Chain A
Amino acid sequence: MNIIVCVKSVPITIGAELMVDGSKKRVVLDGTPFDINEWDEYALEEAVRLKERLGGNVTVVTVSSRNVDDVILKCLAKGADRAIKIVDESIQEYDAYAVTRILHAVIKNMNYDLILCGAQAGDDGYALIGVMLASLLEIPYATMARKLELINGYVRVTRELEEGFEEVVEVKLPALLTIQTGINEPRYASIMSIRRAKQKDIISLDLKSLGIIESDFENRIEIQEFFIPEKKKECIMLHGDVDEIVTKVVEVLMQRGARGF
């Protein structure tokens, strides 16, 4: 079972005070640490578990405008066998479609049974690249996977739907799946294992060597403006005994869209 995992390096923004630059088209990320996208971490873990059970290899592919060595080494330390990186400053100008075209250029001639992507990225949250990559590669796909079972040339995928529903689909291999968080418990990559990972195979490709020229990519999404949402405070004081307060809390939550009561 040869598996490709597409991973993205994303900024760690919890607790950070983010700023928008003067053009209002970009978030200032200078000095912000980056890490593997959370959803991709689950995809990688699933790939490594499949490899440990069935044999084969796991290749990590990442496209980025900035240094991604930390993320790649972490993936290799967690059990990926090799990594392919495409790093070019111009990529920060590209939208999801353009990045997918780069991934497609890398992956189209590779030998694989399964491609795993995170269901979405923690920074832009588009959830586009997996499905677009499957379309460009002309292979079947399933999104939001919460459980995988391999059965005679097919992968049976339990997909997450809304309101607690799940859907089970069978997808013929080779296929692409986008992985939802919670599908597994990702392992820890110790510092010693990250240091050892430097011995593994890291392939660096550039856009030119992939035969890609800038005019190939016309962005299909144009950022109009980034802005910091206005802070609004609302405080509701609830009075009464415990039963009355609980009833009121439920009412307030229902009014605001909570379901399942």
Chain B
Amino acid sequence: MTTSSFLEKEELKIIKDLNFNICLQCGKCTASCPLFQRTGLNPRTLMRKTLYFVFPLKTYPPLSLSEIDDVWDCTTCNNCVIRCPRDAKPVETILALRTILVERGNVPSTIREALESIYKLGNPFGISNFKRADWARDLNIKKASSEGKIDLLYFTGCITSYDSRAQNIARSMATALKISEIDFSILAEDESCCGNEVHSLGERGLFEILMEKNIELFQRYAVNKIITTCPHCFNALRNMYRLEDIEVQHHTQFLADLIDKNAIAFSKNIEKRIAFHDPCYLAKHNNIFEEPRRILENVPGAILLELEHSRRNSLCCGCGGGRMWYESPGEVSRPSEDRIKETMDAGAEILAVACPFCLSELEDAVKRMGCEDKLQVMDVAEIMCEAIAGSRI
């Protein structure tokens, strides 16, 4: 471990092949960043600093690592990547800078605790993994360990497994599947964190371990298809696990397919004005825009509203990129509050989400802003379950 304030040779290897040197310094990334006006996170400046790390100017004093502490503010929403005219991918540079800090052990304490918990227990909450399937109690859901071989796996994810509010997404999804007579299983306590947030925090070694553990389980149970209710899990499994023979679907894709096949029987009208919030890891990272809207359009009685910022132009809730466990010093307001204001202005009664991170963050914002009596935040799975089962669970 090095204590130098400057980058060592091995650390330079981590960043040297990135695209910071083609950056035009136009500032579109910074203008697009949901945290810039709140914490001062400035992707354009970070791109330039990285250039100076690799090619120090003689007249410029070498940069100290203490000058990149703001990398922890990034939500990895991908706005900067989408809008960069040079395809310089500022997020990749930010993640690489995080990796350098992680390898030095220089990590904010709350993020350190989450990473250590994921390594030791398989989840970021410091809770035994034996409790991972507590949400499924009384639902009579098949566990892979007692099935031997499974065709359809519901990969639940950490937030959905442990967060008491987000557990309702899992319960709603499982109930909707059972009523629709879809056979599926869960990994229960064998499941480990997918590693998406670990990867976005720059902890590459830990991500590899988690990926290997989960892939070993997929192979052991000869899994044919995986659905997730978390776009972060979906992103990891679909884009980073390199699963050649296993199809991975987000639950909005899976449910939209069922609707297309007329395999869903609705039993209740949801007569509400519903706006859909595009989660970053579903929309901006994976270009999935239509399926959640198709579901909501088909829910009897529902009126789908389009928010001013939607699809690839959606607002970030502020919770990704490890910020579930990190509050930036001096952060004056959360991005989620802007989203709630926009939703209220649009006249929506329900803000539909398709991500447990967004659910948690946006519902907190609704409570902070005191508009619980006017606006509910619900996952698409919860709305579907209510429309299929006839009542909320």
B127 A192 Cβ-Cβ under 8 A: no
Closest residue of chain A to B102, judged by CB?
A190
7 of the cross-chain contacts (CB-CB < 8 Å) are: A12-B126, A15-B128, A17-B130, A33-B120, A35-B116, A187-B1, A193-B1
Which residues 1-41 of A sit at the B interface, judged by CB distance below 8 A?
12, 14-17, 31-33, 35
A188 B107 Cβ-Cβ under 8 A: yes
Which residues 85-115 of B sit at the A interface, judged by CB distance below 8 A?
102-107, 109, 111-112, 115
Contacts A14-B127, A78-B105 hold; do A191 and B120 have CB atoms under 8 A apart? no
Closest residue of chain A to B122, judged by CB?
A33
Closest residue of chain B to A13, judged by CB?
B128
Q: Within the assembled complex, what's the spacing in Å between the Cα atoms of A187 and B115?
A: 12
Which residues of chain B are within 8 angstroms of A189 by Cβ–Cβ distance? 105
Contact code string B298-314 (vs A, CB < 8 Å = 1, else 0): 00000000000000000
Contact code string B104-145 (vs A, CB < 8 Å = 1, else 0): 111101011001100111000111101100000000000000
B121 A191 Cβ-Cβ under 8 A: no
Is B16 located at the chain interface by the 8 A CB criterion? no
Cross-interface CB contact of B205 among A12, A35, A79, A190, cutoff 8 Å: A190
Which residues of chain A are within 8 angstroms of B208 by Cβ–Cβ distance? 191
Which residues of chain B are within 8 angstroms of A32 by Cβ–Cβ distance? 128
Closest residue of chain B to A49, judged by CB?
B3
Cross-interface CB contact of B206 among A12, A35, A78, A191, cutoff 8 Å: A191
Tally A residues with Cβ within 8 Å of B: 24
Is B203 located at the chain interface by the 8 A CB criterion? yes
Q: Within the assembled complex, what's the spacing in Å between the Cα atoms of A16 and B104?
A: 32
Contact code string A158-198 (vs B, CB < 8 Å = 1, else 0): 00000000000000000000000000011111111111000
Is A69 located at the chain interface by the 8 A CB criterion? no
B122 → chain A closest CB, angstroms: 9
Is A52 located at the chain interface by the 8 A CB criterion? yes
Contacts A190-B203, A190-B205 hold; do A12 and B121 have CB atoms under 8 A apart? yes
A residues within 8 Å of B by Cβ?
12, 14-17, 31-33, 35, 52, 77-79, 185-195
A185 → chain B closest CB, angstroms: 6
Q: Within the assembled complex, what's the spacing in Å between the Cα atoms of A189 and B203?
A: 10
Tally B residues with Cβ within 8 Å of A: 28
B120 A187 Cβ-Cβ under 8 A: no
Q: Within the assembled complex, what's the spacing in Å between the Cα atoms of A255 and B131?
A: 35
B130 A193 Cβ-Cβ under 8 A: no
Closest residue of chain A to B204, judged by CB?
A192
Contacts A15-B127, A15-B131, A16-B130 hold; do A191 and B105 have CB atoms under 8 A apart? no
A193 B127 Cβ-Cβ under 8 A: no
Q: Within the assembled complex, what's the spacing in Å between the Cα atoms of A124 and B337?
A: 45
Which residues of chain A are within 8 angstroms of B102 by Cβ–Cβ distance? 188, 190
A190 B206 Cβ-Cβ under 8 A: yes
B282 → chain A closest CB, angstroms: 28
Contacts A15-B126, A79-B1, A195-B205 hold; do A188 and B131 have CB atoms under 8 A apart? no
Closest residue of chain B to A185, judged by CB?
B109
B206 → chain A closest CB, angstroms: 5
Which residues of chain A are within 8 angstroms of B120 by Cβ–Cβ distance? 12, 33, 35
Q: Within the assembled complex, what's the spacing in Å between the Cα atoms of A15 and B162?
A: 11
Closest residue of chain B to A34, judged by CB?
B120
B115 A14 Cβ-Cβ under 8 A: no
A16 B128 Cβ-Cβ under 8 A: yes
Contact code string B16-27 (vs A, CB < 8 Å = 1, else 0): 000000000000
Q: Within the assembled complex, what's the spacing in Å between the Cα atoms of A253 and B364?
A: 28
B103 A190 Cβ-Cβ under 8 A: yes
Cross-interface CB contact of B106 among A12, A14, A187, A191, cutoff 8 Å: A187
B105 A190 Cβ-Cβ under 8 A: yes
Which residues of chain B are within 8 angstroms of A31 by Cβ–Cβ distance? 130
Is B209 located at the chain interface by the 8 A CB criterion? yes
Cross-interface CB contact of B116 among A79, A188, A193, A195, cutoff 8 Å: A188
